[in-house]
Structure 1
């Protein structure tokens, strides 16, 4: 049996053969193109729709055969002298057959070559699939992905007001807080401590080495001395020193005696130790109790001079920078920087997991406050709408080519026969009504033409 003979019965019925089991189950048909893009799978639901299409094809074909039978009977009756009515019926049936055949040809030409004959401009979907995909992508890009269309649609939605009304609901705020907490925990869990510690340590070290701290420290010290803020520290040191001397009097005198020459008598060493201790205790007591003590003034002058040197003396500034670099590069300091991340991470995770933690309570309160403002503040709503519109317009204008190419490339990846079968399963039933309507409209048109022609001829 040749190809024409195989397709003729299906063409006469306006349909196609039953889908192969592999196609119906969603597996690739034998000629289906294998690509990295999702396949246009022919599912069991498509197979069920195809059975409905086949039933409609049988109905349309049955109507064609019915009018053909009427035409044959009417023609026989007319030749047998049954009367003028037979001519009217024959004309209507003849036109109905013409309309049915013409519409069968048009519907069939969408999906295959009628009767298997490669007539030009037939089998449109299989042969023009790629062009249709490209045209569809262009259509979507021009009519749905234009900046004006996106901006107008988003403006009509009133996203700011809707978001405010949604967030002002405590239940929704709780949900967003929980989702944010889950996302935060997930992000902190995924991050490797060693990587974060290395990044944080390197960032702090680089920042510390790139900024000269001496002038800033000098200005701060100068302001502290000018405001007298250091006096409380001096008071504390003097008080602690006095208390220590009172408690460790024997130790101080023993230290003085131990430093005396070996040829001096012991009682002399003892007397000297006691005198040194009393003078030291008197000096510390006077400095503690006398705000105007000369020692305090000398300390103020020293601090002022040091603050000035930190800001203007090159050698002092260089020494401070070397001290800073040595301090930052010490392993102990790097360990402190690295361990800080672990502490912060554990603290954040614990707060995110606790429903009553300060972090989650503040986040929930902030969301509710934001929702209340968005629901009532038109200026804030306008800002949010503008941000959303600008972001959406940027995305569609920047990536419009990628989006439309996805459409055209996806359609191009579909197998032509497979695609034709699936499309016919979805729209073929409605197309069969074209054949039915063509039969009815053709019969009525033929009857009208025959009637007008006889009326004018009379």
Structure 2
């Protein structure tokens, strides 16, 4: 049969490795309390016998004190014992209070904790006196502590990444990123972006670069231009005529490229600007242009290289995060550490920020207390209810029984003094 754990059997958790020491201390104190009772009993018996043999008058005072001490000791023994078990095994009503009323005691304890410790005002006052933000700021501002927090955060990140399944993360990325990109038309936003670029004149550097490259290419490819012109000349024309025409064409092309390169107001440049402005406008308003943009978007997303990039994005990011988290000298950990130190410094020195953080913590704690107080107190009541009654009584007695034995000792002493006073008053009256 499968062995049940203490928790499965409803046994409360063990108090710790010092249980044996507490048990010995409890037994010792019980013996001391019993010794007081036995001492009072012996004195009572001896004084009774002495009085029968004609003892002096003062013996009556001692006998009265011993008799009352016995009564007080027995009464307090009964009261203390009745908390944990039936005295002498006799099931007297209202005894063995803890075993028989365990559930009610757990419910009362939960209600007491909820009313006196989990009230919103108590939590707010306590947090306000503690000043968590200031203490946290002073602690985390120290580089050694920031290093420790960074290391712990790195451990958490590594654990979270390791637990996540690649296929689940990939599915989330496709849902959150790829489908969102597919669902949004590209034409209008790209057209608006292009319009902004054209209005700011930021495209002119690109146009300058294209014009420069075009001129340099024409200048460096004299033979290529000549070859193109000669290849398209009629077969019946003389070669020297073709060479003259080709050279003339090359000169005109080179001159044209130079003018476009050097004249920012050249008609070619202006025509290019006009074309780009019209194209940007069409991407935002013309259905055909927008449809073509959507076709280009789909072609880009369906390209095998793009699909490979999307498929390997999480794998790449995962490897980068793991490497950065494991390396104490990585840029990520260094930035996190520096950020923590800076945050701690601000919390320690900036009263406004510290006040905001404290207010946020108080509000968060108050929200938890107000909305989940019953669940928290239920944890107490349910836990106590699952405990075994007899075992619970034994363990509680082990924890507080030693102190309760002082009640028996005090009962013996106080009872003896009370008996002595009563006997003295009686003697004075008579």
Please classify the TM superposition score into its range, dividing by the shorter chain length: 0.7 to 0.9
Q: Which moved more, 1:380-389 or 1:223-232?
A: 223-232
Aligned equivalents of 2:209, 2:236: Cα separation in 1: 38
1:200–1:338 Cα contact (<8 Å) kept: no
Q: 2:8 aligns with which of 34, 45, 49?
A: 34
2:12–2:392 Cα contact (<8 Å) kept: no
Structure 2 unaligned residues grouped into runs of 5+? none
Q: Is 1:71 the counterpart of 2:20 in the alignment? A: no
Residue number in structure 1 paired with 2:342:
369
Q: CA deviation at 1:126?
A: 0.8
User: How do 1:33-182 residues align onto structure 2 when only pairs under 5 Å count?
Assistant: 34-35=8-9, 39-41=12-14, 45-182=18-155
Bigger relative contact order (CA 8 A; separation at least 6): 2
1:46–1:422 Cα contact (<8 Å) kept: no
Count of aligned pairs between the two proteins: 427
Aligned equivalents of 2:102, 2:428: Cα separation in 1: 50
2:197–2:203 Cα contact (<8 Å) kept: yes
Aligned equivalents of 2:38, 2:259: Cα separation in 1: 129
Report SS of the residue matched to 1:399.
Answer: helix
1:121/1:168 Cα in 2 relative to 1: closer, same or farther (>3 Å)?
same
Q: Deviations over 1:315-369 (max 9, x none)?
A: 2223222322332233322322344444444444444444444434433333232
Residue number in structure 2 paired with 1:4:
none
Report SS of the residue matched to 1:52.
Answer: helix
Residue number in structure 1 paired with 2:371:
398
Structure 1 unaligned residues grouped into runs of 5+? 1-26
Residue number in structure 2 paired with 1:318:
291
Q: CA deviation at 1:417?
A: 1.1
1:223/1:96 Cα in 2 relative to 1: closer, same or farther (>3 Å)?
closer
1:52/1:189 Cα in 2 relative to 1: closer, same or farther (>3 Å)?
closer
User: How do 1:409-424 residues align onto structure 2 when only pairs under 5 Å count?
Assistant: 409-424=382-397
Aligned equivalents of 1:191, 1:214: Cα separation in 2: 36
User: How do 1:54-453 residues align onto structure 2 when only pairs under 5 Å count?
Assistant: 54-259=27-232, 264-265=236-237, 267=239, 276-453=249-426
1:423/1:393 Cα in 2 relative to 1: closer, same or farther (>3 Å)?
same
Report SS of the residue matched to 1:86.
Answer: helix
Q: Deviations over 1:88-136 (max 9, x none)?
A: 2322222222112211211111111112111100011111111111111
1:255/1:155 Cα in 2 relative to 1: closer, same or farther (>3 Å)?
same
Q: CA deviation at 1:389?
A: 0.9
1:28/1:279 Cα in 2 relative to 1: closer, same or farther (>3 Å)?
closer
* TM-score calculated relative to the size of structure 1: 0.83
